[in-house]
């Protein structure tokens, strides 16, 4: 005989399965057709659910796009963290994380969701709120570099905003470029120069004390 806990877990599993199917199907449609051209009927058909089932999990098309965008930001955070952790020196890790964020943002599907569709589908405050996790990750990495003595002590939150905002603008410029690969290489060169200026050094870094 099923216990109440077992029934509740089964219901949670079904809910999670349906939600994941809707998000995955919606992401594919948003990549292929864009936010405006994607209909709720197409999302429901792709996931094999009714409109009623959709509205049980999401309030509207913007809501599900918000979840798709949030998932992309979480994946980018994982990529940045791995790049940071691959370096022994935390400032080298910061540079690697910044480069990884810029490069990953230009992958075709990620680029379509985060750089092309998101600014039109979501308002500025929503975008900024979802991006806060990635920016805070950068702030933590800067804190590790400062603690390790790799860069002079300074307010890490302001520096994180400066670097994160600059990388975001670079990514938007690159999204519209007809020669993204060339412009990307030029942008990465400039990024390295900026980071070297922030650190006030052009020599190998210091040993780290921790990881982001």
DSSP 98-167: HHHHHHHHTSHHHHIIIIIIHHHHS-HHHHHHHHHHHHHHHHHHHHHHHHTTSS----HHHHHHHHHHHH
- For every one of its 212 residues, what pLDDT tens digit does the chain have, with 9 covering 90 and above? 556 666 555 777 788 888 999 999 999 999 999 999 999 999 999 999 999 999 999 999 999 999 999 999 999 999 999 999 999 999 999 999 999 988 898 899 999 999 999 999 999 999 999 999 999 999 999 999 999 998 888 888 999 999 999 998 988 888 888 888 888 889 889 988 998 888 876 544 554 444 44
For residue 60, give both structure tokens: 């509207």
Please give the backbone phi and psi of residue 133, each rounded to the nearest 5 degrees, phi first: -65, -45
Q: What is the pLDDT of residue 6?
A: 60
Q: At what angle do helices 90-105 and 61-85 cross, to 10 degrees?
A: 140
pTM of the model: 0.85
Q: What is the CATH number of the domain that holds 104?
A: 1.10.357.10
Whether 28 is in a domain gets the answer yes
- Of 25, 43, 58, the position where a domain reaches its end is 58
Please give the backbone phi and psi of residue 126, each rounded to the nearest 5 degrees, phi first: -65, -45
Give the chain's domain count. 2
Looking at the structure, do residues 122 and 156 belong to the same domain, yes or no?
yes
Q: What is the pLDDT of residue 3?
A: 63
Q: What is the pLDDT of residue 203?
A: 46
Number of H-type helices and E-type strands within the chain: 10, 0
Looking at the structure, do residues 45 and 86 belong to the same domain, yes or no?
no
Domain, as residue range, for 7: 1-58
Query: Which residues have CB under 8 Å from 81's CB, separation 6+?
Result: 97, 137, 212
CA distance 76 to 93: 15
Query: Which residues have CB under 8 Å from 128's CB, separation 6+?
Result: none
8 Å CB contact between 97 and 144: no
Looking at the structure, do residues 10 and 27 belong to the same domain, yes or no?
yes
Which of 131, 126, 109 has the alpha carbon at shortest distance from 29? 109
Q: What is the pLDDT of residue 1?
A: 52
Looking at the structure, do residues 43 and 118 belong to the same domain, yes or no?
no
Looking at the structure, do residues 34 and 82 belong to the same domain, yes or no?
no
Q: What is the pLDDT of residue 212?
A: 44
Q: What is the pLDDT of residue 209?
A: 42
Q: What is the CATH number of the domain that holds 15?
A: 1.10.10.60
Q: Which DSSP letter does residue 173 get?
A: H
């Amino acid at each position: 005989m099923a216990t109440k806990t077992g029934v509740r877990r089964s219901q949670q599993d079904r809910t999670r399965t349906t939600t994941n199917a809707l998000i995955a199907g919606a992401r594919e449609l948003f990549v292929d057709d864009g936010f405006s051209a994607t209909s709720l009927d197409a999302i429901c058909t792709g996931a094999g659910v009714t409109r009623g089932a959709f509205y049980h999990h999401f309030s509207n098309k913007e809501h599900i796009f918000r979840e798709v965008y949030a998932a992309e930001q979480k994946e980018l955070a994982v990529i940045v963290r791995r790049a940071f952790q691959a370096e022994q020196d935390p400032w080298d890790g910061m540079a690697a994380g910044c480069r990884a964020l810029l490069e990953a943002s230009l992958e075709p599907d990620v680029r379509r969701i985060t750089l092309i569709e998101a600014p039109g589908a979501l308002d500025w405050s929503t975008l900024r709120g979802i991006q806060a996790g990635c920016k805070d990750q950068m702030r933590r990495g800067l804190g590790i570099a400062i603690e390790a003595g790799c860069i002079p002590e300074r307010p890490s939150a302001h520096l994180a905003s400066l670097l994160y905002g600059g990388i975001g603008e670079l990514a938007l410029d690159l999204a519209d470029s007809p020669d993204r690969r060339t412009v990307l290489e030029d942008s990465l060169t400039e990024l390295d120069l900026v980071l070297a200026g922030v650190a006030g050094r052009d020599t190998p870094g210091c040993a780290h004390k921790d990881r982001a």
